[in-house]
Amino acid sequence: MNWNDVLKLARNGSPEPPRRVEKTDEEWKAQLTPEQYRITRQKGTERAFSGAFCHAYDPGQYNCICCDTPLFDSTVKFDSRSGWPSFTEPVQDNVIQYEEDNAFGMRRIEVLCNVCDAHLGHVFPDGPPPTGLRFCINSASIALDQKAEA
């Protein structure tokens, strides 16, 4: 996957998710902390360098905080110096949903969990090889599963 692939997916639609999880707003509020809810369900963001996984490099798999779908592997996590956990690629092409985001006068590509529509962060074309991608993810939108194979 590269930046051109990301742009095509954002314009033409993301791949079919492996499954779907849908809950009411009240169910999400009962399951998530207020910060997790604000970020994942209301498209919020953390302050730079404030997230629990910003400087963490423990082995494991990062799953969606809302539906526990595996999203990123710790082996593709890198220090982007952006203030948010950064990854070069998802564990599978169909677990991420890509949407054009023109909020705040910026043109960006928003990334969401393709299973439950949780806002995760954004993807940028300034990452390291081999993909050249930087998935910039809010710590509050993911959970580290250290028992998963890395």
CB contact at 8 A, 87 and 142:
no
End-to-end CA distance of the chain: 20
Catalytic position from the list 54, 66, 116, 136: 136
Q: Which two tokens stand for residue 121?
A: 């962060």
- Concerning whether 54 is annotated as a catalytic residue, the answer is no
In a 13 Å sphere around the CA of 38, the CA atoms on its Cβ side amount to 9
- Cβ 98 vs Cβ 121: under 8 Å: no
Tell me if residue 130 falls in helix, strand or coil.
coil
Distance between CA 109 and CA 127 in Å, rounded? 14
Supply angle C-alpha 31, 37, 38, rounded to 5: 170
CB 96 within 8 A of CB 71: yes
Name the residues annotated as catalytic: 136
